Chains A and B, each alone.
Chain A
Amino acid sequence: MSSTLFEKSHVGRKGINIPKQSVNDAPKLDASLLRDTKANLPEVSEFDVVRHFTRLSNKNFSIDANFYPLGSCTMKYNPKVQERVGGLAGLANLHPHHITNNQTHLVQGALSSLKTLENNLCEITGMEAFTLTPQAGAHGEMLGVMMIGAYHKKKGNNKRYVIVPDSSHGTNPATAAMVDYDVITVKSNKDGSMDFEAFKEVMSDEVAAVMMTAPNTLGLFNPAVKKICDLAHSYDALMYYDGANMNAIMGVVRPGDIGFDVIHLNLHKTFATPHGGGGPGAGPVGVGNKLKEFLPDLQVGFSEEKGYFFDTPHQNCIGKISPFFGNYLVLVRALVYMQTLGKEGMINTSKKAVLNANYILAKLKPHLKAAYPNQLCMHECVFSAEDLTKEYGIKAMDIAKYLLDFGLHAPTVYFPLIVKESIMIEPTETENIDTIDYFCQKMIDAVELAKSNPEAFKEFPKTLPISRPDETKAARSLNIRWQ
């Protein structure tokens, strides 16, 4: 049943006991300061709550139970030891205002973990410095573009535009808009990369930054990336690296070496912190020398005599984007992952992520149109269901829903926007060949079924708690809270 806790509520039923109050009641506050009615929270027992949420959990797919071939989202195994470390009382119960009080002696362990993470990220990406304060990838992006804005402001540059390729993540243009830049979108060429000639045409003195994902969201590495960096720099535009796909190139390419000025990483992708059903994430931002002075407030410093301390922000610091060190307990989990992998493990991670994706590309392209069939991909591969749509009326979403019935999460569909009826698959390195073979077989079955019996797709999924929901009704007759 999908009854809410509100429907299971009974007047007078109690949940947990809170500690007994050991002082006398104080005189009540003036009635003008108090609320008129109690918040109508459910009245349920502890066991009601436990059973309710346990049953809800059974209605979810999760990486522990299901394969997620989700392009661009990097759903890989989250090592259990991360959770054990994240639960250590010395980390979980640490009060952030020791930072405000500047009581560094109380938090040496935490600061040391942050510094180690910062150093690791610098080495992995080739950047000069990192801030760990952004709480998600998009938050990091916003910070990155803010620092770019501060850089141009300081230099007196009159910049108005941010260039993004048409294959970019939606957050890129949304971020540029949050920092009040207008967006110029550049078309991709037939190989799926941002077209250099088209790029050259829109490049001008008014361009503040170029945002690129490498490998891009088509799973392709743009060989012209260095040329793009150099041209942008010649106009004093800065190069932004969207690190969503860093997991494909660890130990192979470092954005800092190529000339990127600023980069964000999604720790819940590359560094295996749990997605949590949509968050918390963490989006550290790395910078080169040009942007170091603009880093946001709260950086860890270290000296032999003082140990770890809080660096005084540079006078050009852009301010604060998070109260403290962002999602600290997420950062810790990423560091745990890095330390278990080590150098060789990280290199191997990228190799196997790319191997798995290419294996799927090779196995499926005889059956389904590959968007870029004549080249190897990186960590993800993109197909198009366009032919099936034209001939049999079967869309990418139909195939996605079919897979759900076999315990396979849907691939990313309809993104990137530049491939019609796109199906984007990213297996990650943690899946074994048996799972991948099973997935490929189900994809091939879906294509065959589309040809032989397209009508059948209407019912999928049929084994899950619900079939396809009516999204139009959800939006037209909004019901977003229990009343």
Chain B
Amino acid sequence: MIKKYSNEHEWAILDGEVASIGLSAYAVEQLGDITFVELPEIGAEADKDDSIAFIESVKAASDIYTPVGGEVVEANEELENKPELLNEAAETTWIFKLKVSDASEFDTLMDEAGYKAYIETL
């Protein structure tokens, strides 16, 4: 299992044909205290870079763009009542899981080192 990152600060871990998607610690820190997460509908089909979830903090709001395309198979319902989990452990708290339609999309994403270098430039 490899963890990869997108320009929009989502991370993705591929396990078989299912990818878990979360938000990077960097992004969560920028947003501040997370107060609300709107999860995608189970069964929704999404292309890579579609906005399918939404996250809100006290002073900001942001769409979550899926870094790979596929069908939503699971959403982390715990976040509905405890959005602060993202502040506590962004890199290990997945937001939704997708059955990936094209695994090669993974190749377009950055690895951990690449992402680190990328956020240095921001």
Contacts and interface: CB of A to CB of B under 8 A. Distances in A.
Do any beta carbons of A and B sit within 8 angstroms of each other in the complex?
A: yes
Interface of A: 471-472, 475-476
Interface in B34-74: 35-36, 56, 58-59
Contacts of A476: 33, 35, 83-84
A471 B33 CA distance: 9
Interface string B73-102: 000000000011000000000000000000
A472 B59 CA distance: 9
Contacts of A471: 58-59
A476 B81 CA distance: 9
Nearest to B58: A471
Nearest to A471: B58
Nearest to B81: A476
A472 B36 CA distance: 10
A472 B33 CA distance: 6
Nearest to B83: A476
Interface of B: 32-33, 35-36, 56, 58-59, 83-84
A475 B33 CA distance: 10
A478 to B, nearest CB: 9
A29 B88 CA distance: 57
15 contacts: A471-B58, A471-B59, A472-B32, A472-B33, A472-B35, A472-B58, A475-B33, A475-B35, A475-B36, A475-B56, A475-B58, A476-B33, A476-B35, A476-B83, A476-B84
Contacts of A475: 33, 35-36, 56, 58
A346 B83 CA distance: 52
Nearest to B36: A475
Nearest to A478: B35
A472 B84 CA distance: 10
A317 to B, nearest CB: 36
Nearest to A472: B33
* Closest CB pairs A-B (n = 4): A475-B35, A472-B33, A471-B58, A476-B35
Contacts of B59: 471
A340 B58 CA distance: 44
A476 B84 CA distance: 9
A457 to B, nearest CB: 18
A472 B56 CA distance: 11
Contacts of B84: 476
A304 B117 CA distance: 75
A412 B92 CA distance: 38
Nearest to B33: A472
A416 to B, nearest CB: 16
B8 to A, nearest CB: 17
A232 B36 CA distance: 41
Nearest to A475: B35
A352 to B, nearest CB: 35
Given A471-B58, A472-B33, A475-B33, 11 more contacts: A471-B59, A472-B32, A472-B35, A472-B58, A475-B35, A475-B36, A475-B58, A476-B33, A476-B35, A476-B83, A476-B84
A472 B83 CA distance: 11
A476 B79 CA distance: 12
B83 to A, nearest CB: 7
A475 B61 CA distance: 13
Contacts of B83: 476
Nearest to A414: B59
A389 B56 CA distance: 25
Contacts of B58: 471-472, 475
Contacts of A472: 32-33, 35, 58
A471 B32 CA distance: 11
Contacts of B56: 475
A476 B35 CA distance: 5
A472 B58 CA distance: 6
A476 B56 CA distance: 10
Nearest to B82: A476
A35 B59 CA distance: 40
Nearest to B35: A475
A379 to B, nearest CB: 27
A421 to B, nearest CB: 14
A472 B34 CA distance: 8
A471 B59 CA distance: 9
Contacts of B35: 472, 475-476
A471 B34 CA distance: 11
Contacts of B32: 472
A319 B83 CA distance: 43
Nearest to A476: B35
A174 to B, nearest CB: 12
Contacts of B36: 475
A100 B58 CA distance: 45
A471 B60 CA distance: 12
A475 B59 CA distance: 10
A472 B32 CA distance: 9
B76 to A, nearest CB: 17
B56 to A, nearest CB: 8
A475 B60 CA distance: 12
B79 to A, nearest CB: 12
